[in-house]
Amino acid sequence: MADANSGWSRTLLWGAVTAILYLGVFAYADDVIRFARTTTDACVVGAGAEAVYYSKPTPEACAEKGGTMVQGNWLLVFLPILIAFAISYVHGAFTSNFWDSVGLRAASKKK
Amino acid sequence: MELIQFVQLDTTSVILLILIGFVGGLVSGFIGSGGAFVLTPAMMTLGAPGIVAVASNICHKFPKALVGAVKRHKYGQVDVKLGLIMGAFAEMGILYGKHLMTGIKDQFGAVGTDLYVSAIFVVVLAIVGGFVFRDYLKLKSQPHSDEHQLTKLAKWVHSVHIPGTMVYFPGANAHISLLFIAPMGFATGLLASSIAVGGFIGVPAMIYIFGVPAIMASATELVIAFVMGLGGTMFYGLEGVVDLRLAMLILLGSLFGIQLGAIGTTYVKDYQVKLTMAVIMITVLFSRIFYIPGYLSKLHLIEPMQESTVRTLKMIGDGVLALALILGAATVLTALVKGMAEHRKQHEVLTESEGIAQ
């Protein structure tokens, strides 16, 4: 019984951390998109959720669209890698504990 | 200037992406290969351009591959040296494939990448689906025919000695020339950067050409997938086409599904796994066929079609893909529930007979 309880406690703990990470990504979804789209120079038309990103921009074409030129930063490419790693690790631990707590386990012997 | 749009996410598309990820994970865990052959087309169906779907899929896969590789390394199933060397060549394939994809994007726009990804899917799924179906028929008639035996090709590869290129691989228990490893690794990466599924080349190559046992090949593929995924995310990230929201939503469902699918395999016979794999592959293949005329028409490569005809074909394609997803989920879950019930029954009978014997 104590084992089952500690299993669920672990599951809830990993679940809470997973939820926080996901909430973080989606609360800042506009920034997440902006970072993804500006690893190279871009022309941004509009703002927030409505922003449209053009790649390979020229100042003239960008001005014609009423957009703003943004200088690219290639280091931003590491951001999705770090976030994907963090979420994958935490969420993986959560789901593994979840199925264990629910009682779903692999068969002891393959047929 | 180029415009590659990310998908607008609303509640329905978020729920759909999580469900698609779950089914992709189920299928992936069940058949022991990446579920990207379901996920990439599904992301495209929701409106992601081909290049974004492939890039985001690669991003969602690589951390999962690392976790899987570490786990299976503990069971002694990974040939790390083979994985890293093939991974290095695969990285070159990824770079070249990304170059091809961005070339198509630059020349034909997002629709060009849709057509490119779909056409490769149709060809690859037809070939791989056909082979898997043949394996199913073979396994059903001779249940033990999958026991590890070196193919004639693998024996020949082991016998070739090219000075200065030979490396010992414990997985194959043989010295193999890097001149054989290089093209296979490159092709694996090229395919991965085109449709986000490299294992369709990597795993059979390791089994049939290098003579690596199947269980070790699928585990070693996880190392290659990690190396390729890391590089692929960076290369595509530099093009600004990795949509982390899509990747993380797919991952949310996928990690639940993958473990359930993997548990499912321990309750079913190998030929059932092969049949599931073949049926899903062929259904996904047919779904992609319906989109191709629309892409060709948009690119003016055929007589322009009426918008209503393109829409109808897309709806049929969506329907067939939905069928593939439902079929995949239903097959895996039914196998799991049935298998668990049978396992429990056998366990009860065993316990009872042990009780009588005492």
Asked whether the beta carbons of residue A39 and residue B6 sit closer than 8 angstroms, the reply is: no
pLDDT at res. B66: 86
Q: How far apart are CA B64 and CA B52, in angstroms?
A: 19
Q: How far apart are CA B350 and CA B354, in angstroms?
A: 6
Nearest chain A residue (CA) to B270: A111
In angstroms, the separation between the Cα of residue A2 and the nearest Cα of chain B is 24
Pairing label, strands A42-45, A68-70: antiparallel
In angstroms, the separation between the Cα of residue A9 and the nearest Cα of chain B is 18
Count of A–B CB contacts within 8 Å? 126
Q: Is the pLDDT of residue A69 over 60?
A: yes
Give phi and psi for A41, each to the nearest 5: -55, 140
Q: pLDDT grade, residue A92 (50/70/90)?
A: confident
pLDDT at res. B33: 67
Asked whether the beta carbons of residue B59 and residue A80 sit closer than 8 angstroms, the reply is: yes
Test mutation, A69, A77, A96, chain B, max B CBs within 10 A: A77
In angstroms, the separation between the Cα of residue B234 and the nearest Cα of chain A is 6
Nearest chain B residue (CA) to A40: B238
Contact yes or no for B299/B65 (Cβ under 8 A): no
Nearest chain A residue (CA) to B264: A106
Q: In the numeric block, which tokens belong to residue B324?
A: 């593939």
At a CB cut-off of 8 Å and minimum separation 6, what does A32 contact?
Answer: A25, B244, B245
CA within 13 Å, CB half, B329 = 15
Q: What is the dihedral of CA B49, B50, B55, B59, to 10 degrees?
A: 90
pLDDT at res. B148: 63
Q: What residue ranges of chain B have pLDDT lower than 70?
A: 32-34, 143-148, 354-358
Other Cβ atoms closer than 10 A to B59: 30
Give pTM, 2 decimals: 0.87
Side chain identity at residue B96, one-letter code: Y
Other Cβ atoms closer than 10 A to B164: 7
Nearest Cβ partner for A40 among B5, B240, B243? B240
Q: Is the pLDDT of residue A110 over 60?
A: no
Side chain identity at residue B262, one-letter code: A
Asked whether the beta carbons of residue A95 and residue B1 sit closer than 8 angstroms, the reply is: no
Nearest Cβ partner for A39 among B230, B237, B267? B237
Nearest chain B residue (CA) to A69: B1
Nearest Cβ partner for B263 among A56, A61, A104? A104
- Which 3 state secondary structure label does DSSP give A103? coil
CA within 13 Å, CB half, A3 = 4
In angstroms, the separation between the Cα of residue A109 and the nearest Cα of chain B is 7
* Partners of residue A61 in chain B, C-beta under 8 Å: 1
Test mutation, A81, A85, A94, chain B, max B CBs within 10 A: A81
Q: Where are the alpha helices (DSSP H) in B142-213?
A: 152-159, 178-195, 199-204
Side chain identity at residue A35, one-letter code: F
Side chain identity at residue A70, one-letter code: V
| Contacts by B282-285, CB closer than 8 A, 24 or more apart | B282/B125, B282/B126, B282/B129, B282/B133, B283/B320, B283/B321, B283/B323, B283/B324, B283/B327, B284/B37, B284/B38, B284/B41, B284/B121, B284/B125, B284/B321, B284/B324, B285/B121, B285/B122, B285/B125, B285/B126, B285/B129
* Partners of residue B248 in chain A, C-beta under 8 Å: 22, 25, 83-84, 87
ipTM above 0.90, yes or no: no
* Partners of residue A22 in chain B, C-beta under 8 Å: 248, 252
pLDDT at res. B144: 63
* Partners of residue B64 in chain A, C-beta under 8 Å: 88, 92
Asked whether the beta carbons of residue B244 and residue A25 sit closer than 8 angstroms, the reply is: yes
Asked whether the beta carbons of residue B244 and residue A84 sit closer than 8 angstroms, the reply is: yes
Nearest Cβ partner for B59 among A38, A84, A92? A84
Kind plus residue range of the DSSP H or E element containing B322: helix B307-357
Asked whether the beta carbons of residue B233 and residue A84 sit closer than 8 angstroms, the reply is: yes
What pLDDT digit, counting tens, does each position of B270-296 carry?
Answer: 787 788 888 888 998 999 999 999 999
Nearest Cβ partner for A80 among B237, B256, B269? B237
Residue B164 is classified by DSSP as T
Q: How far apart are CA B133 and CA A68, in angstroms?
A: 54
Q: Is the pLDDT of residue A111 over 70?
A: no
pLDDT at res. B342: 79
Side chain identity at residue B73, one-letter code: H
CA within 13 Å, CB half, B216 = 22
Asked whether the beta carbons of residue B237 and residue A110 sit closer than 8 angstroms, the reply is: no
Asked whether the beta carbons of residue B1 and residue A54 sit closer than 8 angstroms, the reply is: yes
